[in-house]
Structure 1
Amino acid sequence: MTKIMITTGPFVFEARLETALAPLTCAAFVKVLPFVTELMHVKWSGECVWAPLGDMDFGVGYENPTSHPTPGQLILYPGGLSETELMLAYGAAHFLSKVGPLAGNHFITLTSGLENLAALGDLAMRKGAQATWFALAQ
């Protein structure tokens, strides 16, 4: 099992890559590690933080897609109807955009730090985008 460390704002989360469920998405993401971005509070999708990635192309289509990630699930929307983006649910979520409902590839699940998810969401909502770093765990 490949493990990922995610540092965002003052929080550190351990996670696993869902290689059995989304092997192509996981492989594409590992190729860009370490990955630096910012997570901000979502506009339409509920209790989530997201990273808009514009026209970044991971070279994957739909794989293990969901429109309702549960707390601690990270999804990648590979682009198409809307821009490419990452979204991490911290509570009730329904993946939406200005063009309507979307589905993203669930490819990472947090395994530690879940007790800090709501605080991350609150911080992003009140203070804005949080610097975020994804790396393979040592």
Structure 2
Amino acid sequence: MTQHLRITLTSRGVSARARLLTEAAPRTCAAVLQALPAGGQVYHGKYARNEIYTLIPHPGSEPGAENTTITPIPGDLCWFTFTGDDLGNPAYGYEGGEQHREMRSIVDLAVFYGRNNLLINGDQGWVPGNVYGTIVSGLEEFAAACQDVWMGGARGETLTFSREETG
């Protein structure tokens, strides 16, 4: 059975529907489902280009590398696992960066909304992500809202991921 997620930018009132790639990334999909519902402060990618994401506590099930990419395409949903030290650098601009340093493991749930993304970080080098889903409806409107996060600001905006209820 095909499973879907609802991805929402709460304050902007926009959402998209995504299909889980359970055949290509079964462990990652299981870990995402274990973490849902999930969400928090949205961030716009600094290095990857056309990316928004939120950071959540690790749900406990680590999928490892699976269906990885360093060049995500529009509509890709990616999972990244980081340690608190990975995200504790003040240059990343996270308010409460000390809180990240105290966490052993953090998950970055990312949505890529445009072309020409490259997952490289000046401190860490290549950062492959697990592609676990793809947006199947609402990408155009969602991408416009993501661009507004970039230009209008992320403060006060929440990115949420939830299971989509089916009929």
TM-score, structure 2 as length reference? 0.74
**Hey, what's the Cα distance between the residues in 2 that align with 1:108 and 1:76?**
10
Question: By percentage of residues, which structure has more helix?
Answer: 2
Long gaps (5+) in structure 2: 88-106
CA positional deviation for 1:93: 0.8
| Percentage of identical aligned residues | 28
Q: State the Cα deviation string for residues 71-121 of structure 1 (Å, max 9, x = none).
A: 010100123694531221111211122312210000011111111233122
CA drift of 1:41 comes to: 0.9
CA distance in 1 between counterparts of 2:24 and 2:86 reads: 23
Query: Partner residue of 2:21?
Result: 18
- The answer to which of 81-90 and 120-129 deviates more is 81-90
Please say if residues 16 and 137 of structure 2, whose CA atoms lie closer than 8 Å, have aligned partners that are also in contact. Answer: yes
**Aligned residue-pair number:** 137
- Which residue does 1:117 correspond to in 2? 142
Aligned to 2:3: 2
- CA deviation profile, 1:5-27 (whole Å, cap 9, x unmatched): 11113211111111000000101
More strand by share: 1
Aligned equivalents of 2:86 and 2:24: distance in 1?
A: 23
Compared CA separation, residues 133 and 110, structure 1 to 2 (3 A): same
- Tell me how far apart the structure 1 counterparts of residues 61 and 42 of structure 2 sit (CA, whole Å): 18
Q: Which residue of the other structure, out of 120, 129, 154, is the alignment partner of 1:96?
A: 120
For the residue of structure 1 that corresponds to 2:134, the secondary structure is strand
After the TM superposition, which segments of 4 or more aligned residues of structure 1 sit over 3 Å from their partners? 80-84
Distance 1:112 1:124 in 2: 20
1:1-138 equivalences under 5 Å are 1-9=2-10, 10-53=13-56, 56=58, 57-79=60-82, 82-83=86-87, 84-91=107-114, 92-97=116-121, 98-125=123-150, 126-129=152-155, 130-138=157-165
Query: Larger Rg: 1 or 2?
Result: 2
Question: Is residue 39–residue 132 contact of structure 1 (8 Å, CA) maintained in 2?
Answer: yes
Question: Pairwise CA RMSD of aligned residues?
Answer: 1.9
The 1:36–1:19 alpha-carbon spacing in structure 2 relative to 1, beyond 3 Å, is same
8 Å contact from structure 2 (residues 28, 130) kept in 1: yes
